[in-house]
Structure 1
């Protein structure tokens, strides 16, 4: 139960960041950087009586219905929560903090801030095995019926939205929107990678038994043992290998520093770890 609450809390924080980036930076500049939010910005240009938040809500309902008809019920509760939660947050911001114009009058600066804030939020949502819906559904349809890769399908869907932005707001805005789509993809990948980095640690020490006990009992992690031979001494040595989170690695390093200052430690960044004690291999 605690894990589920944590997951939905992270999703909520993520969609809140996406909503803030959209509402305060992208929407006032008509920067339709793909997705349902971008499509809503374009439609709002022709139907100003409808708010961006309400348009996102309606578009998500339409896309979910189409998705259920052509793909099946493969979206999941988390994606529905994230997509409709994002629409609701934008709608609430429109009611509580109406924007009369841009913050800085610098479209490039606001594009960068909007994308960075939103991409961090999207990375958090994707990392919890959810998505903000919208063009993800279109991408899945293109994947199913035209056998295109999901990444390429998503890029095509978002590119189509930026073309509409160029038609609605002019080529300058359209080109900025396309630039935003490209930057967003790189930043989202970087955020997800950063949130999932673990440390693979290899230790050679005369205090091997104490270190193994600390890893298993204090850090609650497993370890693998290898036997190697030193090239200089020609002696057999035991290598302790384990995978740890960043905080756990700091604890292990401090512990080894206390008991064996001559220990040899090697570390590697591991960008994805699946299996017992880490991410479920089926996710």
Structure 2
């Protein structure tokens, strides 16, 4: 990877410098991250081995759980470790790797949410053609395109950051490496580069959010023609998806659609979409989805019973 000759490492200022608050942050985010990994892995395993969760919706949900886990892993472990460190240092190469991972898995999550909306649209608005349109081969192609799109987005972002000269200082007023904090440290006018970054990340966030909201509006409107039972089931599923979309896109749009200025709430917004949202997503999907909860009970009941014998 490209190595900048002037700055070889960056120092995070973190969320707080108070020792007591750092210990509190350590405990809270260790719980959040552990919960994120365990719950998302539980969803992935349940979907993979359950015979009742073979529909495309759950195929995409397993990839959303995977993206959530990796997205949180790109920032949370270092944040947790740094709360116990007096000097929060990250090398230049590790910083660039973190930027790449953050945007790759964040973009993958956005694309998977779009695919889930497409799946719900076809299931509710085109029920008779659903098995033909959303067959397994199509789902695999769609998720492959999501991976390719995420890779292109991340390469475009990191390519712009790698052109920035860093001459010092190397203090990042954040707990992770991201585009906006790094732009502030560059030894050049970053106005043009910031426009390109906003045109990339900002356009993906805002356009995807508008597209998803329009699609769910169409879906909810079409529910008028369904039976009461079908309406309740579809409404429950779509409500879960809409909640996740708002939790995901609200903070991202706030962060990536504005000039590179520092606001007091930036760190808290970043904490919300990098740590809190991946923690909440599996709760939203499992608590509101009877099929997932029943599949989990059956799967683990069979496992416990087999081990008991």
Alignment TM-score > 0.5, same fold: no
Instruction: Report 1 or 2 for greater relative contact order, CA contacts < 8 Å, sequence distance ≥ 6.
Output: 2
Q: Which has the larger share of helix?
A: 2
Q: TM-score range by the shorter chain?
A: under 0.3
Q: Which has the larger share of strand?
A: 1
Larger radius of gyration: 1
